[in-house]
Amino acid sequence: MELLHEETICCPYCNELIVILIDQEDHDQEYIDDCSVCCRPIHIHVMTNANDELVVTVNDENEA
Ligand SMILES: [Zn+2]
């Protein structure tokens, strides 16, 4: 069963809105995805809050 969730994020480099797909069965994940506009690596952190909602945080690669 696929539970892919579409989330729109804002690239920390070029500020373009890009859509990413998140596997909701895989909570608390961190990964790098290249921006589809400027091709720079975006650090994406996916977690769930107390209400079981997805929270997506993006940073540029140099921000921890
Ligand atoms: Zn970008």
Who contacts 48 (Cβ-Cβ below 8 Å, separation ≥6)?
A: 27, 28, 54, 55
> Can you give the pLDDT at residue 64?
55
- Do 21 and 33 form a contact (C-beta atoms < 8 A)? no
For 19-53, the pLDDT digits (tens) are 998 887 777 889 999 999 999 999 999 998 999 88
Measured in Å, residue 42 CA sits from the centre of ligand 1 at 8
Per-residue buried b or exposed e for 44-64, using 16+ beta carbons within 10 Å of the residue's own CB: bebeeeeeeeeeeebeeeeee
CA-CA-CA-CA torsion sign (10, 44, 8, 18): positive
Q: What is the pLDDT of residue 57?
A: 94
Give the start-to-end residue ranges of the domains of the chain: 4-60
Q: CB within 5 A of ion ligand 1: which residues? A: 11, 13-14, 35, 37-38
d(CA 48, ligand 1 centre) in Å: 25
pTM of the predicted protein model: 0.81
